[in-house]
């Protein structure tokens, strides 16, 4: 009886210690379909600093621990730096998630209530979010915000899904509808800091000429000096590609070739998958393949942080825009060529 009692005490103490440890960090346990044994990256802001971590997934399964006393948006990337998912987390929480790199909105998430609601919204509205126009996506987000002013998910959607290009005043008005407790100032500021850090880390680096293997089985030679403005689209096999191509096509058709250069740089792992994607795209602009994906030394200085990603440059190679928004990239092109 005494032995059993002592054993019970040990178990209780272990649970208490374990609980204390959990309170000092958060844990994300997840899987990425088809990843195999490769790296997984996470990025988030805590205490004013951008945190980046890497771990190795075994058969697509991974565990990553982080530290944040307040809620923070954690972004999760595959080995090719493709954004596969986002979760909301803080110390003391464990998030279980599974992602499909071919369909961002097919994620499955179990953890805190806001993260589960966020994932459910993305699941249920995947068609509009992946193929809809910016106006359609904004309307979807607006309806959710108006109907859920006291829910932090409204803030998450405004930060990650709402397109405020040429729509800043409406975005601010919509954001102000959300109750203060559902839009924590620290959460919003930290996520903005994350975006600024990611997008501005190599902003002053000039885009240099390069030559890469093209879909036409030849070498495509790119130089920013050959056009007034150029847009580099760094891609892989990701959901939403059709919408991106449609948006880029409008810009491509709008300007003469001597003024605007568009190049699709693929970071797919092999030429077979790249050519399958390129064949389905059926576009008139150059599509090239970078051997080694994000590790290709041609783009080291540009520090491509995620996929898809867009860089707009002028004829001198100066970056006019760098980021993950195709609409912002096209807006930068239009602004440059409207003069």
Tell me, what's the pLDDT at 59? 94
Tell me, what's the pLDDT at 274? 83
- Same domain for 113 and 169, yes or no, is yes
- Same domain for 53 and 190, yes or no, is yes
Q: Which of 254, 270, 146 is closest to 213 using CA atoms?
A: 270
First to last CA, the chain: 87
56 found inside a domain: yes
Per-residue pLDDT of the chain (339 residues; tens, 9 = 90+): 444 444 444 344 334 334 444 688 999 999 999 888 999 999 999 988 889 989 999 999 999 999 999 999 999 998 888 889 999 999 999 999 999 888 888 899 998 999 999 999 999 999 888 888 888 999 999 999 999 999 999 999 999 998 877 677 888 899 999 999 999 999 988 888 888 777 777 888 999 999 998 887 889 999 999 999 999 999 887 656 888 888 999 999 999 989 999 999 998 878 888 888 878 878 889 999 988 777 678 888 888 888 889 999 999 999 999 988 888 899 999 999 986
State the residue range of the domain holding 62.
Answer: 23-200
User: Are residues 145 and 155 in contact, defined by beta-carbon separation less than 8 angstroms?
Assistant: no
- Same domain for 187 and 111, yes or no, is yes
Tell me, what's the pLDDT at 69? 92
- Same domain for 245 and 187, yes or no, is no
Other CB atoms within 10 A of residue 54 CB: 12
Tell me, what's the pLDDT at 238? 64
167 found inside a domain: yes
Tokens of 45: 């802001």
- Same domain for 35 and 149, yes or no, is yes
Choosing from 145, 180, 200, the residue where a domain stops is: 200
Tell me, what's the pLDDT at 239? 59
What is the distance between the alpha carbons of residues 183 and 177, in angstroms, rounded to a whole number? 10
18 found inside a domain: no
Tell me, what's the pLDDT at 276? 83
- Same domain for 259 and 317, yes or no, is yes
9 found inside a domain: no
CB neighbour class for 227 (10 Å; exposed up to 12, middle 13-18, buried from 19):
buried
User: Are residues 164 and 171 in contact, defined by beta-carbon separation less than 8 angstroms?
Assistant: yes
17 found inside a domain: no
What is the distance between the alpha carbons of residues 258 and 253, in angstroms, rounded to a whole number? 12
Reported as type and span, the H/E element at residue 231 is strand 229-235
Reported as type and span, the H/E element at residue 310 is strand 309-314
304 found inside a domain: yes
**Beta strands 26-32 and 94-99, pairing class:** parallel
DSSP secondary structure of 21-45 = HHHT-EEEEEEETT--S-EEEEEEE
Tell me, what's the pLDDT at 9? 40
247 found inside a domain: yes
Tokens of 37: 């044994």
- Same domain for 84 and 215, yes or no, is no
- Same domain for 169 and 289, yes or no, is no
- Same domain for 156 and 55, yes or no, is yes
Taking the CA of residue 129 as centre, how many other CA atoms within 13 Å lie in the half-sphere pointing to its CB? 19
Tell me, what's the pLDDT at 15? 41
User: Are residues 32 and 104 in contact, defined by beta-carbon separation less than 8 angstroms?
Assistant: no
- Same domain for 233 and 103, yes or no, is no
Choosing from 176, 200, 224, the residue where a domain stops is: 200
CATH code of the domain containing 268: 3.40.30.10
- Same domain for 29 and 178, yes or no, is yes
Choosing from 137, 165, 200, the residue where a domain stops is: 200
- Same domain for 194 and 216, yes or no, is no
Q: How many domains does the chain have?
A: 2
Strand partners, 97: 30, 109
1 found inside a domain: no
């Amino acid at each position: 009886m005494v032995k059993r009692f002592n054993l019970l005490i040990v178990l209780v103490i272990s649970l208490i210690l374990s609980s204390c440890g959990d309170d000092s960090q958060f844990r994300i346990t997840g899987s990425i379909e088809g990843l195999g044994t490769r790296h997984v990256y996470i990025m988030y802001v805590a205490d004013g600093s951008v945190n980046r971590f890497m771990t190795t997934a075994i058969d697509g399964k991974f565990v990553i621990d982080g530290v944040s006393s307040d809620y923070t948006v954690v972004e999760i990337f595959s080995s090719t730096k493709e954004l596969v998912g986002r979760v909301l987390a803080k110390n003391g929480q464990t998030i279980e998630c599974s992602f499909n790199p071919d369909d961002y909105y097919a994620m499955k998430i179990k953890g805190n209530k806001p993260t589960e609601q966020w994932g459910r919204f993305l699941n249920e509205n995947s068609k509009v979010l992946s193929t809809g126009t910016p106006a359609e996506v904004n309307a979807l987000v607006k309806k959710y915000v108006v109907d859920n002013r006291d829910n932090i998910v409204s803030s998450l959607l405004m930060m990650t899904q709402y397109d405020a290009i040429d729509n800043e005043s409406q975005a601010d008005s919509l954001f102000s509808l959300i109750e203060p407790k559902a839009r924590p100032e620290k959460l919003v500021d930290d996520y903005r800091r994350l975006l600024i850090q990611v997008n501005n880390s190599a902003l002053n680096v000039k885009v240099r000429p390069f030559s890469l293997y093209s879909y036409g089985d030849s070498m495509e030679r790119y130089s920013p000096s050959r056009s007034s403005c150029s847009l580099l689209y760094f891609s892989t096999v990701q959901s939403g590609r059709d919408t991106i191509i449609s948006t880029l096509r409008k810009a491509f058709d709008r300007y003469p070739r001597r003024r605007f250069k568009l190049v699709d740089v693929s970071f797919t792992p092999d030429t077979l998958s790249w050519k399958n994607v390129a064949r389905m795209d059926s576009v008139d602009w150059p599509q090239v393949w970078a051997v080694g994906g994000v590790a290709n030394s041609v783009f080291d200085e540009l520090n491509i942080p995620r996929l898809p990603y867009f860089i707009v440059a002028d004829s001198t190679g100066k970056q006019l825009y760098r980021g993950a928004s195709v609409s912002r990239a096209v807006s930068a092109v239009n602004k440059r060529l409207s003069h």
